[in-house]
Amino acid sequence: MDRIKSTEGDLIVRDGRFAIVATRFNDFIVESLIKGALHCLRQHGAVDGNVELFRVPGAFEMSIAIDKVAATRRFDGIIALGAVIRGATPHFGYVAGECVRGITTASQKHGVPIGNGVLTVDTIEQAIERAGTKAGNKGEEAARAVIEMVNFLRSID
């Protein structure tokens, strides 16, 4: 293993520009995810002037917004934040599936790392746990993944 070159990204923001695309639906959860993402970006060296927040109605609308933001080429990384909570109808599966598909498609199409901080949970309690209590803050985790991937992609360019 000593002779094999290894590449990975680090967690130091170097002049990076970041977009956060966040839903307004389930805002009481999403606000905590936004705070977690911003905390992480700042902690690793991002400057507030290089971070822009875009708000969309819900997770279903997120795909087109992320695609449009990525297409601008103004951002090194994008953080997607939202909460889809299962209800009594099959609506959950459609919304969650299309949201994840849109995030993945935009990332591959534009070559921009996108951190998926969209919670897909069965209960409000699970969402609360993942937005900063027992299970950490998934907004912070998505931001951390984006920082690392931005640096990883830069290292191989």
Query: What is the residue whose two structure tokens read 């830069």?
Result: 154
Concerning whether 91 is annotated as a catalytic residue, the answer is yes
Predicted confidence (pLDDT) per residue in 91-101, tens digit = 888 889 999 99
What pTM was estimated for this model as a whole? 0.95
Q: What letter represents residue 6's amino acid?
A: S
Every domain of the chain and the residues it spans: 18-147
pLDDT for position 1? 59
CB of 99 within 8 A of CB of 23? no
Q: Check residue 101 and give its pLDDT.
A: 96
Q: What is the pLDDT of residues 39-80, one digit of tens each?
A: 999 999 999 999 999 999 999 999 999 999 999 999 999 999
Report the topology of domain 18-147.
Answer: Rossmann fold (3.40.50)
Is it the case that residue 142 has pLDDT exceeding 80?
yes
Instruction: Give the active site residue among 39, 44, 91, 110.
Output: 91
The gap from C-alpha 152 to its chain's centroid, in whole angstroms, comes to: 17
